[in-house]
Chain A
């Protein structure tokens, strides 16, 4: 069966420090991969999605970037965190086409 792993679960980082959040999927090949940010009152904001290795679509211009170095690995990064980057980040995957998303447990990021 397919599983998705996202880590770390919580992270506290100072302003200006780098960020790397990792997400991996097991049990499937060539999944679509997604990064969302969940904020109270704003729902789920799509940040990035990827339909294949090295293919990244960015939805919102901001301080973050994403990479997909391997088929089932999706990384969310920042060179210098801002206070406004604090939030709850969710990784998700789906098979190609009209399939639903499967979410990870999320990472709570606090930038101090």
Chain B
């Protein structure tokens, strides 16, 4: 049974870089049928897609965050990672990693991690 688990600091200072890792277990990240994505949810608000990556390293990013986001993959560790630079309080959110189903394009997130709360504060 495939599982995803986010890890990383729960507190980041303003202007610094938020770094999270998602570890995939029970299956391979190198599947041709999926991208792997990051989604966030500010407290009391809705979902926002951040970006997704294929095992080959091909990426899609949300244009609203693209200038600050880097998503990378490490197939040897079955992990993918998120870096968000120059964070502000507006980046405070629960961050989820998820498996992103592909048809011709990525279409839906079918398996999610439990989420990790990241607070931006000095």
Chain B binds chain A: no
Q: Which residues of A contact B (CB under 8 A)?
A: none
Q: Which residues of B contact A (CB under 8 A)?
A: none
